[in-house]
Amino acid sequence: MKTVHLVQHTHWDREWYFTENDSKAVLYYFMDDLLQRLEADKTLGPFVLDGQTVVIEDYLSVAPDQEIRLRNLIEQGRILIGPWYTQSDFLVVGAESITRNLLLGHADCQRFGETMPVGYVPDSFGQSAQLPMFLQQFAIDSAVIWRGWSEYNVPHSEFSWLSADGSKVTTAVLPWGYGCAKWLPDEPQQAQKALETILAKQTRFSSTDHVLLPNGNDQSPFEYRVPEMLDKLNQQQDEYRYVRSSFSQFFQALESTQIALPVYQGELISPKYMRIHRGIFSTRVDIKQLNAQLEQTLSQHLEPLLAVNWRLGLPYPQSAVDNIWREAMKSHAHDSIGGCNSDRVNAMVKNRLESGLEMANQLIDLNMKMLAEGITAQQDGKKIIIFNARPQTRHGLVELTIFTPEQDFRVVDGAGHECRWQIVEEGRQDMSIIVQELSNSTETTWYRKCKLLLEVSEIPACGYQTLYLQEGVSAGFSPQAAAVVKLENEWLRLEADEQGVLTLTDKRSQQTYHNILQLVDGGDAGDNYNYSPPFDDWLISSNDFLTSVRGEEGLLQSCLTLTWQMAVPSDLTARNEHRADAELDISMTLTLAHKNRWLDVAISVNNTAHDHRLQVLLPTGVQQHVHFADQPFGLIERHNQPPEMAVWKEEQWTEAPVALYPMQSQVMMHDAHRGLCAVTEGLREYQIPEDRQDVIAVTLLRSVGWLGQANMPYRPGRASGMVLPSPESQIQGMHHFKLSLLAMNNGADSAFWRDVENARGNLHAWLATGWSRFRTNPHGRVFPPHFSVLNWDSELHFSVLKKAQHSDALVVRGWNPTLASIPCGEVITSGTITPATLAEIALEIHQEAVPTCAPATFVITF
């Protein structure tokens, strides 16, 4: 006899084709009913509140007087909460976001009762290979998932899932989804007929006689009559024994069988039985870029700055930072960050991210101002704070914008030694917009606005250095630039022919890459969920549409700017008729710093076309069957072409398993002698074309006008979501994209990984002008002109420096980007150093080496 574990739940989308305001109104009545039913019948429960504590937050925002009732049921174990704050999409958001999601979710659970110790991920559009690692870091030993699994990965729906670092969780798949047993009839005989079909499918891949039966659905009311109905079925048949259960009880029963489960390592992105919606990685690229910018601003700038200032005696606004993270995570749910929503919801998602960025930048500005205020000047002039978030001493180039009435100026360090700089952009600025005292003036005060590239050195680790802007004084060098027709330094050479076709030469190996960074526009007959090519696509490249090329060599870097007016179809109808009746104005600026081994690429596109996709191509010339991309806290190897593409139509998969993949910010293809790597800012998708498997195609944007559509080439059958127009997802107007391009001459060696980390930046410059939109009283503290909190001599990549969540300590974290273990290195600071998990719980053993795809976290108490 098979034991069927009834798990009652709801899946709560905060927003989708409806807004969060709609869902909060529904939630009020849903929770009112749930509380009443559970209180009236003590035999009911436990009930899973979708594994995300934001549901509690939302409910109490509309029913704060019900907290005691809710708390009592949670403490009794009749409502199960957590471990997440929100149900994120784990293939799109960043590693620190996933970490904070669990950290804040656990904090919420501790306020109300126990945490459900199961990594419940019912609706992420695919599963990250790193999920077992994240769960184990929070002492969670089991996971329940839906999308992304098939028997091509592992033959059973219960298995041991292994991350690359060795972390393992017992995993159960809901093969037919969290709603497979929704809306069951109350009458036993009718229910038995429905359950025969459901359980035949549920048991098809089971490795034991224990079966999960999830009873619930999207925003669906509590089916409180189902347990009693199943009790009656227990008396009327002997094929199944139905028990009122939970995920934890199911895993206990699974363990009691002592059956050895198969082991699987890797991500789960198979769309055989359930759609994973390959396309959300590039839908609404404006939202993706904004989210990446907010994640980076928080973990790579604001939190390290606050940590340094906290060590100097300034307050650390923990709740304010947590609130920014929480608002960001409300935009991280699978539909929200996927962009597969109504236009109204996408606007709300974007607004939350913009609001978070506004507050983060204001906190940065105020803390830089307070820092500069406490530094006693060593030289004349305005103070420039160069902040280094990374735990190693830094040198290199940093951008700084200044406003000055003077034609001449120079920058010096504390000893009076002059720093070199280069103007990369110049204009005029109305100062009444910036200086509060000038806002009511009857005359306009115009200053020069200069965006500088400043050369700096010996910037302390996790700290700052003070420089000085001296106006009205001539620089001791000539900042003049000269025209050039190619870019070249010690390592690289980039040339453009008369059509604008680019050739990159790696001077270290003499390997060349022809027709690099070509732009290709194609049709998109998909929707917000899936890219899908037209049945007869018409691809148009940038090669025939060049309008200008101009180059400039400066003191610190050189740049080459190409512009195109690409004639493209205005929509799908025009593309089908091969009518190029629209025009894309595109510019690409390629920058090569004299001391850098990588090329920086900035692309601007005025999007005036509909129903299309624009990609930039990186032909590697590498004859390999695999490539690599980054994932949260690690690297993953993928096939250039999934072998399942040969069978998906015959086996009637829910969508095509095309080589359209997610990344965090990096993708590369290489052999021992040549290869290319792209490091992007907010671009989350790339493709390996089926007919050109040595090419990496990075998606810049895709324009579609529907939330869901039916019968698409890559996704046959019903529409996903709702067949609802979403014209704003055509994302018309100007868009700006950035990436860095690295040529690989010796595989992914340590020098390459240093270049990848340096290409990501982490140096920040701030000018103390004395102007401010907001006045604050002096804090009265005195700070040194340079300061460092800690130094960590390590090849790990930097993740964050921040204050500990629940104690007066600091947390510093790095991660291993490579496919092999690397030495952890030593953290040097004045405090006591304790290795810890992502949950900030102390570890008993300090590992000398950090495994592949693993973070290393230290808590420092002073």
Q: What is the mean pLDDT of residues 255-263?
A: 96
444 has a pLDDT exceeding 80: no
Give the pLDDT band of residue 440 (cuts 50, 70, 90): low
Neighbours of 409 (CB within 10 A): 20
Residue type, position 502, single letter = L
Average pLDDT, the chain: 96
The CATH number of whichever domain residue 825 belongs to comes to: 2.60.40.2220
Asked if residue 133 belongs to a domain, the reply is yes
800 has a pLDDT exceeding 70: yes
458 φψ region: left (φ > 0), alpha (ψ -120 to 50), beta (else) = left
Q: What is the mean pLDDT of residues 130-136?
A: 98
Asked if residue 411 belongs to a domain, the reply is no
Is the dihedral angle over the CA atoms 689, 692, 698, 700 positive or is it negative?
Answer: negative
443 has a pLDDT exceeding 80: no
Residue 767: closest CA among 451, 554, 359: 451
Per-residue tokens: 601:
């690429």
702 φψ region: left (φ > 0), alpha (ψ -120 to 50), beta (else) = beta
431, 449 contact by CB (below 8 A): no
Give the pLDDT band of residue 135 (cuts 50, 70, 90): very high
Question: Is the domain of 794 the same as that of 754?
Answer: no
478 has a pLDDT exceeding 90: no
Question: Is the domain of 717 the same as that of 808?
Answer: no
DSSP for 384-437, written as a single string = EEEEE-SSS-EEEEEEEEEEES-S-EEEE-TTSPEEPEEEEEEEEEEGGGT-GG
Question: Is the domain of 83 the same as that of 214?
Answer: yes
Q: Is 74 helix (H, G, I), strand (E, B) or coil?
A: helix
3-state helix, strand, coil in the chain (%, to 5): 25, 35, 40
Give residue 155's pLDDT: 95
153, 268 contact by CB (below 8 A): yes
Compute CA 694 distance to the chain's CA centroid, rounded to the nearest angstrom. Answer: 26
Asked if residue 455 belongs to a domain, the reply is no
Question: Is the domain of 605 the same as that of 731?
Answer: yes
d(CA 850, CA 816): 7
User: Is the pTM for the entire model greater than 0.95?
Assistant: yes
Per-residue tokens: 490:
């010690």
241 has a pLDDT exceeding 70: yes
Residue 517: closest CA among 597, 620, 612: 620
Which residues fall within 8 angstroms of residue 323, CB to CB, at 6 or more apart? none
Residue 812: closest CA among 821, 801, 823: 801
328 has a pLDDT exceeding 90: yes
**Residues 479-497 pLDDT 10s:** 777 888 899 999 999 999 9
758 has a pLDDT exceeding 70: yes
38 φψ region: left (φ > 0), alpha (ψ -120 to 50), beta (else) = alpha
d(CA 758, CA 396): 9
Cα distances from 779 to residues 308, 367, 373, 776, 782, in angstroms, run 16, 11, 8, 9, 9
Q: Angle, to 10 degrees, between the axis of helix 54-62 and the axis of helix 318-330?
A: 100
Return the H-helix or E-strand segment holding 197. Answer: helix 188-202
Residue 680: closest CA among 742, 752, 606: 742
Give residue 24's pLDDT: 97
Q: Active site residue: 13, 58, 89, 123, which one?
A: 123
**Residues 574-613 pLDDT 10s:** 999 999 999 999 999 999 999 999 999 999 999 999 999 9
Q: Where are the beta strands (DSSP E) in 431-478?
A: 446-459, 463-471
Instruction: Tell me if residue 123 is catalytic.
Output: yes
Parallel/antiparallel/unpaired status of strands 142-145 and 666-670: unpaired
Q: How many domains does the chain have?
A: 3
Question: Is the domain of 180 the same as that of 51?
Answer: yes
For the chain, the first-to-last Cα distance in angstroms comes to 60
The CATH number of whichever domain residue 224 belongs to comes to: 3.20.110.10
Residue 88: closest CA among 46, 134, 56, 21: 134
The CATH number of whichever domain residue 586 belongs to comes to: 2.70.98.30
What does the CA dihedral 700, 704, 706, 707 come to, rounded to 10 degrees?
0
Question: Is the domain of 548 the same as that of 631?
Answer: yes
Q: What is the mean pLDDT of residues 185-195?
A: 94
Total residues belonging to the chain: 862
Q: What is the mean pLDDT of residues 836-848?
A: 93
Give residue 437's pLDDT: 65
d(CA 457, CA 477): 18
CA atoms within 13 Å, Cβ hemisphere of 49: 32
Q: Is 475 helix (H, G, I), strand (E, B) or coil?
A: coil
Residue 12: closest CA among 349, 345, 335: 335
Which range marks the domain in which residue 837 is found?
A: 790-862
Question: Is the domain of 553 the same as that of 657?
Answer: yes
**Residues 73-116 pLDDT 10s:** 999 999 999 999 999 999 999 999 999 999 999 999 999 999 99
Give residue 774's pLDDT: 79
Is the dihedral angle over the CA atoms 788, 794, 799, 805 positive or is it negative?
Answer: negative
Per-residue tokens: 299:
């973990």
**Residues 385-419 pLDDT 10s:** 999 999 999 999 999 999 999 999 999 999 999 99
Question: Is the domain of 720 the same as that of 574?
Answer: yes
Is the bond into 46 cis (omega within 30 degrees of 0)?
A: yes
Q: What is the mean pLDDT of residues 742-761?
A: 96
Where a domain ends, among 265, 298, 326? 265
Asked if residue 737 belongs to a domain, the reply is yes
Where a domain ends, among 265, 296, 324? 265
Asked if residue 461 belongs to a domain, the reply is no
Residue 686: closest CA among 759, 644, 739: 739
Where a domain ends, among 706, 741, 759? 759
Asked if residue 775 belongs to a domain, the reply is no
DSSP for 665-684, written as a single string = SEEEEE-SS-EEEEEESS--
- Burial profile 782-817: b = 16 or more Cβ within 10 angstroms, e = fewer: ebebbbbbbbbebbbbbbbbbbbbeeebbbbbbbbb
Question: Is the domain of 736 the same as that of 839?
Answer: no
Per-residue tokens: 464:
């700052």
**Residues 620-676 pLDDT 10s:** 999 999 999 999 999 999 999 999 999 999 999 999 999 999 999 999 999 999 999
Give residue 283's pLDDT: 97
Matching residue, tokens 């004639």? 567
Question: Is the domain of 728 the same as that of 856?
Answer: no
Residue type, position 568, single letter = V
289 has a pLDDT exceeding 90: yes
Asked if residue 180 belongs to a domain, the reply is yes
442, 384 contact by CB (below 8 A): no
Residue type, position 190, single letter = Q
Per-residue tokens: 583:
């025009």
Is the dihedral angle over the CA atoms 660, 664, 670, 675 positive or is it negative?
Answer: positive
DSSP for 692-731, written as a single string = -TTEEEEEEEEE--BS--SSBTTB-SSPSS---B-GGGG-
d(CA 526, CA 533): 7
Q: Is 240 helix (H, G, I), strand (E, B) or coil?
A: strand
Cα distances from 23 to residues 13, 178, 335, 693, in angstroms, run 8, 19, 14, 45
Q: List the single range of 116-125, 439-448, 514-523 with lowest mean pLDDT.
A: 439-448
824 has a pLDDT exceeding 80: yes
d(CA 450, CA 428): 8
Give residue 481's pLDDT: 79
746, 672 contact by CB (below 8 A): yes
**Residues 520-560 pLDDT 10s:** 999 999 999 999 999 889 999 999 999 999 999 999 999 99
35 has a pLDDT exceeding 80: yes
5, 211 contact by CB (below 8 A): yes
Asked if residue 235 belongs to a domain, the reply is yes
Question: Is the domain of 800 the same as that of 755?
Answer: no
Matching residue, tokens 């704003």? 728
Residue type, position 14, single letter = R
Per-residue tokens: 451:
């965006």
d(CA 236, CA 452): 80
Q: What are phi and psi of 596, to 5 degrees?
A: -105, 150
DSSP for 6-33, written as a single string = EEEE-B--SSSSS-HHHHHHHHHHHHHH
Question: Is the domain of 708 the same as that of 840?
Answer: no
- Burial profile 680-702: b = 16 or more Cβ within 10 angstroms, e = fewer: bbbbbbbbbbeeebbbbbbbbbb
CA atoms within 13 Å, Cβ hemisphere of 7: 28
Matching residue, tokens 């018309």? 732
